[in-house]
Structure 1
Amino acid sequence: MDTQDTTELARNLKNRHVQLIAIGGTIGTGLFLGSGQSIRLAGPSIILAYILTGMVCFLLMRALGELLLSNLGYHSFVEAVREYLGDTAGFITGWTYWICWVTIAMAEMTAIGIYVQLWLPGVPQWVPGLVFLIILLGVNLITVGAFGEVEFWFSLIKIVAIIGLIVAGIVMLIVSYKTPSGHVTVANLVTHGGFFPTGMKGFLLSFQMVIFSFIGIEMVGMTAAETQDPKTVLPKAINDIPIRIIIFYVGALFIIMCIYPWNQLQASQSPFVMVFKDIGITAAASVINFVVITAAASACNSSLYTTGRMLAELTASSKNQKVRRISKLSKHHVPANALYVSCVIIAISVALNYLIPSQVFTLVSTVATTCFIFIWGIIILTHLKFKKTEKGKKSEFKTPFAPVSDYFILVFLAAVAVILCFKHETLVALILSVVWFCVLYFVKKHNDKKIA
């Protein structure tokens, strides 16, 4: 008989779960498929864009880690936002973070539908995504340990694929392997127009896809309330982020562009497929298709986990009893009702994939990207306020170079927001995001007046 209080989340996530969830949060379809598009935009300078964004993400995660470890009673960083920036900021941040992960789940369901069509071209695009959503909902309803176990293996598949690419590339470099496009050499990074072949414009425009690649890196912070020994596990997961970024992102892109001149890569094709084909793996397209489906399923799995916890937290304090019932935990210590509600909203993508199949992925992924810039900015503003308190001054897990690092991140995010204005798709998403924030602000103020 389970003696643990069912009104509390269970600390059933082990160290290996959290470590792989942290890695999985930094590896997604943005790398496996989006890297072709970003390489075409920026050329070899994309490596610098990933290093710079990776550095920002590491400092962001240190700030987030410092906040969460200052109070192990936090269920998520939104409670820290509420404490240091006020109820309105917490309300807007919480619902924005929830909708961010809903849109990511929609994007990944769409991606799964597109990838499965490589093997089953006659299947409608909306069917595979719906099947995966139902399966992953079942997994998340079991226990948080089941979620952690599935995410562990999903992440492991992605890691093996990337390490396989890097090892194969190193061997090809050593033997000066000749591909149809020429010899594998480091010189490919600079002999086709230099390191910045598309100029500063291409380099700057690439940041939208680079940011999209890193979306979800802060998700490990959502595991704080369900992690065994969070004081030991979370700092290790966060401190290992720079190594992961160097190996998995920078390493993979470096190898890809040593094998292929950047201008011979197709924006619409995965560079991973091209590399494995040249090694002689005839089933390269199917192998990478399997890995990319895994990456999309992993993101969808994380989305369900995060939307369920966030919706439960947002509805727990509601004055309406029916709304508050959403936050109730099941006998397995998971927010089952919140998972069901989130799943129904995510399933709207089924209708979108039926009505506008060619536009869904771009629409929802760009909205998610712009909203995440806001979320990351709020985390940093919260950290700045926290550092001015006595608790912040006595913190043990200090963020390097704070508060200078915080201002650096805010300037970086503001610059990316400006860059988003120069592309039609991202500008539309930016405007929609601002409208969303305004709606939430007025809803919050209206509710406050009713309570008063």
Structure 2
Amino acid sequence: MTDQLTSTPARTPADTAAPAAHLQTPSTQDNGLKRGLKARHLQLIALGSSIGTGLFLGSGASIQLAGPAVLLAFAVAGAMIFLIMRMLGEMAVIHPVSGSFAYYARKFIGPVAGFITGWNWWFTCIVVGMLELTAAGVFMDFWFPGLPHWITALVALVVITGINLIHVGAFGEVEFWMSMIKVVALVAMIVLGLCLVFGIGPDPAIGFSNLWEHGGFAPTGLGGFMLSLVAVTFTFGGTVSIGTAAGEVENPSRNIPKAINSVIYRIIVFYVGGVGIMLLLWPWNDIDADSSPFVRILMGLGIGGAAVILNVVVLSAALSVFNNMTYSGGRMLRDLALNGQAPPFFARTTKRGLPLRALLFNSGLMGVAVLLNFLFEGQLLFALMAIILGAEIISWSAIALAHLGFRKQLRRAGQTSTYRAPFFPIANYGCLAFFALLLTLMAFLPDYRIALFALPAWVLTLAVIWLGQCVHQRRNGHDKLSPDDNLITTQREI
């Protein structure tokens, strides 16, 4: 790469030691990044960021746990994540920065919370990237069952990293079209399914009987429904990545609310609608958890051509989420470096506004998935999903807690925001209680239990690193607040 690197002075942990009591006008430039994402890019990032392996592959496991009652689980989990998205959106409209919820945790909870949240989301991006690379190999089995998964992972890693090294607009354009493909395909599959259900065409109507003929609507009872919430909630993990795009989107005060408001429609159409069609077309107890249930159902119905097309879609969906995690993780690592919480080496951007060093470093780490698929092919998916869900719970909880502090600062300043998250503060505490319930339920699922035990160890490790960094900085005399550390000075009309 020949781009000239530019840098912004990093802030030390001590620089962020005190939350400010003022509001800050959103900047037009996020310290070296360029606002190269258009409104249509953000809309499709919001629509497609979580339509990936969790829905196309992981939904089979949640269906096996709850049967048709999994539709209620999707509705409950979707409602919780929508509330979290509205909290994130309210903060992002006033503070459209690439650090997103790590920035908000740092400012509204405390510096150690920002450190843990930022590094946790960076870790989430790395592990999700590894998951999607692994899933891409699984989806390629449809055509080439003998092709080693590590080859698919390597090709995908090189191609997507190359796209992200061009320009933020290149990322946005690729994400736009890949998201468009899976959105259109899901809508088409739902329409096709409805035709089969109601008998529109040459075949007789399938009807609705599959919802209750195989043990009833809730064949595994309340226990199965509760346990399914764990796997179902995992599928919504990518939604908050829209926050890290806030620093590079045009007109954030208008485009961020529009993108986030679309989340509720995505939940209804793509999750409840898509999974509902699967349950109508095929008995829930015959849905395979080890391959894409969407593809297998279409093949079982004798719609081979549609199954081939849909497998192209699920493969592109995995690559789309990997593309999103490559982008989001690089911006988060850069934000940590800017705030003295990661090596300043990663704070630099090129003249085209790319955090080149952060992107390359992250891609190298995600490339470990190539080696793991070579050594442990077929054994990674559910282990990675469990680890990711635990990390996502940290990010979601940080958003709910940061939003409480954000509203407190607004109240002290005698101001209000125009894009307000609903049901405050009941929604915040309700979401936190839901996440605590998920952690409890994970103890009853062997595939997720490892993450439950690893989660406190991970948080404790980050806290110890933070304390060590604080001691080091104080010994070197870094104990002053940065003059630009005040969060809010005036609130712009939104």
TM, length-normalised to structure 1 = 0.94
Do structure 1's residue 124 and structure 2's residue 124 form an aligned pair? no
Deviation by residue 1:145-180 (Cα, 9 ceiling, x = unmatched) = 10011011111111122111111112122227798x
Name the CA shift for 1:26/1:73 in 2 (closer, same or farther; >3 Å).
closer
Counterpart Cα distance in 1 of 2:428 and 2:245: 23
Of 365, 368, 390 in structure 2, the residue corresponding to residue 348 of structure 1 is 368
Counterpart Cα distance in 1 of 2:379 and 2:163: 29
Alignment correspondent of 1:333: 353
Of 182, 185, 208 in structure 2, the residue corresponding to residue 186 of structure 1 is 208
Of 265, 287, 302 in structure 2, the residue corresponding to residue 265 of structure 1 is 287
Deviation by residue 1:335-376 (Cα, 9 ceiling, x = unmatched) = 010001111111111221122222222222211111101110
Alignment correspondent of 1:387: 407
Equivalent runs, 1:156-175 vs 2, <5 Å: 156-175=180-199
**8 Å contact from structure 1 (residues 177, 184) kept in 2:** no
Alignment correspondent of 2:12: none
Instruction: Kindly state the Cα deviation for residue 73 of structure 1 after the two structures are TM-superposed.
Output: 5.0
Counterpart Cα distance in 1 of 2:76 and 2:145: 40
Instruction: Kindly state the Cα deviation for residue 388 of structure 1 after the two structures are TM-superposed.
Output: 1.4
Of 260, 264, 268 in structure 2, the residue corresponding to residue 242 of structure 1 is 264
Name the CA shift for 1:186/1:178 in 2 (closer, same or farther; >3 Å).
farther
Alignment correspondent of 1:152: 176
Counterpart Cα distance in 2 of 1:352 and 1:278: 32
**8 Å contact from structure 2 (residues 37, 250) kept in 1:** yes
Instruction: Kindly state the Cα deviation for residue 183 of structure 1 after the two structures are TM-superposed.
Output: 5.0
Alignment correspondent of 2:455: 433
Equivalent runs, 1:218-367 vs 2, <5 Å: 218-277=240-299, 280-318=302-340, 323-367=343-387
Counterpart Cα distance in 2 of 1:370 and 1:207: 13
Do structure 1's residue 137 and structure 2's residue 178 form an aligned pair? no
Counterpart Cα distance in 1 of 2:141 and 2:197: 34
Name the CA shift for 1:187/1:124 in 2 (closer, same or farther; >3 Å).
closer
Which secondary structure state, in structure 2, belongs to the residue aligned with residue 389 of structure 1?
A: helix
**8 Å contact from structure 2 (residues 42, 242) kept in 1:** yes
Instruction: Kindly state the Cα deviation for residue 108 of structure 1 after the two structures are TM-superposed.
Output: 0.8
Instruction: Kindly state the Cα deviation for residue 215 of structure 1 after the two structures are TM-superposed.
Output: 0.8
Counterpart Cα distance in 1 of 2:231 and 2:287: 16
Amino acid at match of 1:59: L
Name the CA shift for 1:161/1:361 in 2 (closer, same or farther; >3 Å).
same
Instruction: Kindly state the Cα deviation for residue 209 of structure 1 after the two structures are TM-superposed.
Output: 1.5
Counterpart Cα distance in 2 of 1:327 and 1:100: 20
- Of Structure 1 and Structure 2, which has the larger fraction of its residues in helix? 1
TM, length-normalised to structure 2 = 0.86
Of 396, 407, 429 in structure 2, the residue corresponding to residue 407 of structure 1 is 429
Of 76, 79, 83 in structure 2, the residue corresponding to residue 59 of structure 1 is 83
Moved more, 49-58 or 346-355: 346-355
Alignment correspondent of 1:13: 37
**8 Å contact from structure 1 (residues 387, 393) kept in 2:** no
Name the CA shift for 1:451/1:165 in 2 (closer, same or farther; >3 Å).
same
Counterpart Cα distance in 2 of 1:112 and 1:392: 51
Of 51, 74, 99 in structure 2, the residue corresponding to residue 50 of structure 1 is 74
Moved more, 308-317 or 51-60: 308-317
**8 Å contact from structure 1 (residues 316, 324) kept in 2:** yes
Counterpart Cα distance in 2 of 1:26 and 1:341: 24
Deviation by residue 1:255-302 (Cα, 9 ceiling, x = unmatched) = 222222322323334332244336653234432321111111011101
Amino acid at match of 1:383: H
Counterpart Cα distance in 1 of 2:167 and 2:435: 36
**8 Å contact from structure 1 (residues 44, 195) kept in 2:** yes
**8 Å contact from structure 1 (residues 39, 262) kept in 2:** yes
Instruction: Kindly state the Cα deviation for residue 124 of structure 1 after the two structures are TM-superposed.
Output: 2.2
Name the CA shift for 1:400/1:23 in 2 (closer, same or farther; >3 Å).
same
Moved more, 424-433 or 279-288: 279-288
Alignment correspondent of 1:368: 388
Of 102, 118, 127 in structure 2, the residue corresponding to residue 78 of structure 1 is 102
Counterpart Cα distance in 2 of 1:121 and 1:269: 12
Do structure 1's residue 398 and structure 2's residue 420 form an aligned pair? yes
Structure 1's unaligned 5+ residue stretches are: none
Amino acid at match of 2:283: P
**8 Å contact from structure 1 (residues 7, 328) kept in 2:** no
Amino acid at match of 2:169: G
Counterpart Cα distance in 2 of 1:224 and 1:28: 22
**8 Å contact from structure 1 (residues 98, 310) kept in 2:** yes
**8 Å contact from structure 1 (residues 176, 185) kept in 2:** no
Of 117, 134, 140 in structure 2, the residue corresponding to residue 93 of structure 1 is 117
Amino acid at match of 1:288: L
Counterpart Cα distance in 2 of 1:392 and 1:278: 61
Counterpart Cα distance in 2 of 1:110 and 1:234: 31
Alignment correspondent of 1:111: 135
Counterpart Cα distance in 2 of 1:118 and 1:33: 13
Counterpart Cα distance in 1 of 2:82 and 2:146: 43
Which secondary structure state, in structure 2, belongs to the residue aligned with residue 206 of structure 1?
A: helix
Deviation by residue 1:33-87 (Cα, 9 ceiling, x = unmatched) = 2222211211111000000111111110000011112223564221111011111
Instruction: Kindly state the Cα deviation for residue 242 of structure 1 after the two structures are TM-superposed.
Output: 1.0
Moved more, 235-244 or 119-128: 119-128
Name the CA shift for 1:264/1:183 in 2 (closer, same or farther; >3 Å).
farther
**8 Å contact from structure 1 (residues 7, 333) kept in 2:** no
Name the CA shift for 1:197/1:97 in 2 (closer, same or farther; >3 Å).
same
Instruction: Kindly state the Cα deviation for residue 31 of structure 1 after the two structures are TM-superposed.
Output: 1.5
Alignment root-mean-square deviation, CA: 2.3
